[in-house]
Amino acid sequence: MLFSGAQPALLVLADGTTYRGWSFGASATAIGEVVFNTGMTGYQEVLTDPSYRGQIISFTYPELGNTGVNPEDEESGRPQIKGAIARNICSRPRNWRSTQSLQDYLKKYGIPGIYGIDTRALTRKLRSSGAMNGGISTEILDPTDLLMRVQEAPSMAGLNLVREVSTQSAYEWSEVTGAAWDYTLKSTSTAIALPDQPLTVVAIDFGIKKNILRRLASYGCRVIVVPADTSPEEILKYSPDGIFLSNGPGDPATVAEGIATTKALLTSEKPMFGICMGHQILGLSLGAETFKLKFGHRGLNQPCGMSQQPVEITSQNHGFAISAESLPNVEVEITHLNLNDRTVAGLRHKTLPLFSVQYHPEASPGPHDADYLFEQFVQTMLLHRQQSAQAIG
């Protein structure tokens, strides 16, 4: 069904492939990397995830907008995507939590969308040819003209987008996850005895999601979020029990300051935990290399694990991965593989208290298959605090 007064819209990929549909959201032109997400739910979390900065998202689930949007489900303060692609759009959301339609939400932030196209054909195109730049426009309806704009845009490889999404100043986070979420988790997890003095975690913000901060706070941590370019000396002034490396957008190899800071912090022997880009930056700081995946991993159903261990159903959102061959095997071991393509999905240092995963344990796809990683981080910090106290004593 078309919106009242719907405008024609055009989608053009960098190889000249053209799709015509109808617009939703803002009347505008957007150029970015076109990728697809296979999740059946959680479109608002996707739209507001800073890791999607600079990208146009095609949703493989054919119905979008049914539950509207609400402030509680935002992963950041605003939508981060360049544009959205859908098969069908719901014009009248029906959900008790909804405060706004998806159409009005994107319009408010000047983000265009296109619907009414064959998203199955688009997904097959991206899987066979790889993720590529593209453009959505309600203003430029000549494919040749829009293609010229698309071909002028920089590739995601070599692009540093962290500076666009990282906080500009340090702040403290205290909000925890909802009681219903934790009640479900406690039925499958053992509780940790937390110390009287809270554990201090410094989270380096490469584009951090709110729910990661909520999970850290839910485990009793005092969470201090700092900009991505914060120096190692400034981070250590907080006397952290642990350091968290967050998710974020763009090519991890270009985040030179983050890599240098992480490498310098290795000598502190503080516990470190990285997620997504944080996982890649930790790997790069240890001497590994990263590479761009053909079409990336974006969705809620990515199986991860190793032989002789349970398979975790994980949420992922990344277009780059660590090269397994480049890891220093003497110091680092692979703890998880993506079971679809055998790429590195987790690593751990053999002597230092460092570990990371390529997926999002806070996103609850399993729903709680991987939340133990936050517990593991807390236990590592508790052990490190105890050892430090004994060394002083």
The residue annotated as part of the active site, out of 276, 279, 312, 318, is: 276
Secondary structure, 3-state, 212-257: HHHHHHHCCEEEEEEECCCCHHHHHCCCCCEEEECCCCECHHHCHH
Beta carbons within 8 Å of 276's beta carbon, 6+ residues apart: 51, 246, 247, 248, 316, 317, 318, 357, 358, 359, 360
> Does residue 336 have an active-site annotation?
no
Place of tokens 């190793």: 306
Residue in 295, 296, 257, 251 with CA at minimum distance from that of residue 277:
251
> Does residue 362 have an active-site annotation?
yes
Beta carbons within 8 Å of 185's beta carbon, 6+ residues apart: 368, 371
CA 211 to chain centre: 11
End-to-end CA distance of the chain: give it in Å, rounded: 72
Angle CA 345–82–116, to nearest 5:
100
> Does residue 360 have an active-site annotation?
yes
**Main-chain phi, psi angles of 86, to 5 degrees:** -145, 155
Tell me the catalytic residues.
Answer: 276, 360, 362
